[in-house]
Amino acid sequence: MKLKYLYEMYDNGVKQGERTSLEWEELLSIPRQAIRDYAREGRSYKHRYTFKAVREENLEDKTQQEETEITVQDLREFRRSLKIGSKFEYEDSCKVIVVRKYRNIVELVSLKDPKRSVTMTYMELLKQQKNKVKRYIDSRG
């Protein structure tokens, strides 16, 4: 996956296109973080505009994610153990660091380009880590 997310924008349910949050910010004068929040939470802006995050995934990646079992206890333990400054390797082999923890999401920033950031749920980040470990084990065995 890429760190650059596209967001679909709907005007009263009619799709208007796909753009990055920065492009929507410039076109609609909506803060980028608000666009991410609206997409994540399923809310509408001014009871008119709705956003949906679009990610490019391979079919192989989807099946691997579905096969990974995560219990509620695993998720709680992961949330407790995750610290600001924790480093991860993002799925496109980009190294990222945790800069903020929120109630339901984590903000990650690229180490190579600090201007590039992405927000993920704790579940998405944990699934990604489990899949990485599984791929490593499969490649060794």
- 79 lies in the same domain as 116: yes
Determine the pLDDT at residue 46. 84
- 43 lies in the same domain as 77: no
Q: Is residue 44 part of a domain?
A: yes
Q: Is residue 32 part of a domain?
A: yes
Considering the chain, what is the average pLDDT of its residues?
79
- 48 lies in the same domain as 109: no
- 98 lies in the same domain as 114: yes
Closest C-alpha to 108, from 123, 120, 98: 98
pLDDT tens for each residue of 13-23: 888 888 888 88
- What is the maximum alpha-carbon separation in the chain? 54
- Euclidean distance between CA atoms 139 and 75, whole angstroms: 26
- Whether 31 has a pLDDT exceeding 70, the answer reads yes
The domain total for the chain is: 2
pLDDT band at 91 (very low <50, low <70, confident <90, very high): low
Q: Is residue 85 part of a domain?
A: yes
- 115 lies in the same domain as 68: yes
Average pLDDT in the 66-77 region?
A: 73
- Euclidean distance between CA atoms 84 and 96, whole angstroms: 11
- 50 lies in the same domain as 97: no
Identify the domain containing residue 22 by its residue range: 6-54
pLDDT tens for each residue of 104-141: 888 889 888 888 888 888 888 888 888 777 776 777 76
pLDDT tens for each residue of 41-50: 888 888 888 8
Q: Is residue 112 part of a domain?
A: yes
Q: Is residue 1 part of a domain?
A: no
